[in-house]
């Protein structure tokens, strides 16, 4: 993988919660306009790794990092970088749908509004909802509360809300774990379409999902008290059919995890 193709990179990235190390020396390149999956057993630090990309770990008291995270070659953790600026360009969708207790329209318009968007808001809301494949279902009740939507619709609304600020990267932290299979398929379909214009990093503990949607897969695990070790990283096809590391093979064939 060439540098130019990579939108996000980590170099010897470690994350600590207090004295506890939860990500250990991860070096990883995330290619532009592709879907990269991070898989691994529970508690292996995959969500923590994901949250390094938009500095969400900073919201946790006494979290600290060593190593580097680069976004388009720039150090995300440089002193001159404001976390708000990063989160504006690197959006995030969470494990549980977390729509704001506002109308569907206001949920989508929230990001653009706080970032000082001046333009046609109706149009932006419509395109964002269309790209998240939610428009047809909600176009007649844009001003109804978002809390009245189903779980799957709420999650697509959260995707639309993220798209409305036009980020370059979308981080997804187990976006389907609270959803039924049909809602999951709808989200995966949206992801595939978005991958043409956006770079997506998804954390998932559903290996079929990683195999179905992602182009690249990183496998993290816990070994000998060390948490968050990157065991293997490569094209998903290769990882799921012909892993080079026997620990990866053991995990994807269901022998542990």
Partner 1 sequence: MIRSTQRADFQARLARRKRQSTIFAGLCMAAIAIALLMLVVLLTYIVVQGYSRVDWQFLSSFPSRFPERAGIQAAVIGSIYVIAVAGVASFVLGVGAAIYLEEYASRQKFTKIIQVNIANLAGVPSIVYGILGLEIFVRTLALGKSVLAGGFTLALLVLPVIIIASQEAIRAVPPSIREGGYALGASRWQTVWHLVLPQAFPGILTGVILAVSRAMGETAPLIVMGALTFVPFAPDGPMSRFTVLPIQIFNWTSRPQAGFHEAAAAGIMVLLVLLFIMNAAAVFLRFKFRDRM
Binding site for partner 1 (CB under 8 A): 54, 56, 59, 61, 83-88, 91-92, 94, 96, 98-102, 110-111, 114-115, 145, 147, 158, 161-162, 165
Residue 61 Cβ vs partner 1, minimum distance, rounded to whole Å: 6
Residue 242 Cβ vs partner 1, minimum distance, rounded to whole Å: 36
Nearer to partner 1 among residue 77 and residue 88 (C-beta): 88
Nearer to partner 1 among residue 85 and residue 189 (C-beta): 85
What letter would DSSP give residue 104? H
Nearer to partner 1 among residue 198 and residue 240 (C-beta): 198
Joined together, the tokens standing for residue 53 give 């990309």
Residue 55 Cβ vs partner 1, minimum distance, rounded to whole Å: 9
Residue 115 Cβ vs partner 1, minimum distance, rounded to whole Å: 6
Distances (CA, A) of 78 to 84, 136, 160: 13, 42, 29
Nearer to partner 1 among residue 164 and residue 207 (C-beta): 164
Residue 226 Cβ vs partner 1, minimum distance, rounded to whole Å: 28
Distances (CA, A) of 215 to 7, 69, 247: 15, 21, 20
Nearer to partner 1 among residue 74 and residue 242 (C-beta): 74
Q: Outline where the chain has alpha helix (H).
A: 46-52, 83-89, 104-114, 121-131, 135-138, 151-163, 181-194, 207-213, 236-241, 246-252
Residue 63 Cβ vs partner 1, minimum distance, rounded to whole Å: 13
Helices 104-114 and 151-163: angle between axes, nearest 10 degrees: 30
Burial 93-107 (b: 16+ CB within 10 A, else e): bbeebebeeebbbbb
Query: In terms of C-beta distances under 8 Å and separation of at least 24 residues, what long-range contacts does 150-154 make, across chains too?
Result: 150/183, 151/97, 151/178, 151/179, 151/180, 151/183, 152/179, 152/180, 152/182, 152/183, 152/184, 152/186, 152/187, 153/183, 154/97, 154/99
Residue 154 Cβ vs partner 1, minimum distance, rounded to whole Å: 11
Among the listed residues 17, 42, 59, 148, the one whose alpha carbon sits nearest the alpha carbon of residue 95: 42
Nearer to partner 1 among residue 62 and residue 224 (C-beta): 62
Nearer to partner 1 among residue 33 and residue 145 (C-beta): 145
Identify the three-state secondary structure at position 65.
strand
């Amino acid at each position: 993988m060439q540098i130019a193709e990579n939108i996000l990179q980590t170099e010897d990235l470690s994350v600590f919660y207090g004295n506890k190390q939860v990500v250990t020396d991860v070096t990883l390149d995330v290619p532009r306009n592709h879907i990269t999956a991070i898989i691994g057993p529970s508690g292996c630090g995959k969500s923590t790794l994901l949250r390094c990309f938009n500095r969400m770990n900073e919201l946790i008291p006494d979290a600290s990092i060593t190593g580097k995270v680069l976004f388009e070659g720039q150090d995300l953790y440089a002193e001159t970088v404001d976390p708000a600026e990063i989160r504006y360009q690197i959006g995030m969708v969470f494990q549980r749908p977390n729509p704001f207790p506002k109308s569907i329209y206001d949920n989508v318009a929230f990001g653009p509004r706080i970032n000082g968007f001046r333009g046609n808001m109706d149009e932006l809301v419509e395109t964002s909802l269309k790209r998240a494949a939610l428009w047809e279902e909600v176009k007649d009740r844009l001003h109804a509360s978002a809390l009245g939507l189903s779980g799957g619709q709420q999650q697509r609304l959260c995707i639309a809300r993220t798209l409305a600020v036009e980020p370059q990267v979308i981080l997804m932290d187990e976006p389907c774990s609270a959803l039924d299979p049909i809602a999951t398929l709808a989200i995966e379909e949206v992801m595939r379409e978005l991958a043409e214009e956006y770079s997506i990093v998804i954390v998932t503990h559903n290996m079929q999902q990683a195999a179905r949607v992602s182009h690249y897969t990183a496998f993290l695990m816990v070994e000998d008290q060390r948490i968050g070790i990157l065991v293997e990283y490569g094209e998903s096809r290769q990882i799921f059919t012909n892993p080079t590391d026997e620990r990866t093979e053991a995990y994807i064939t269901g022998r542990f995890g």
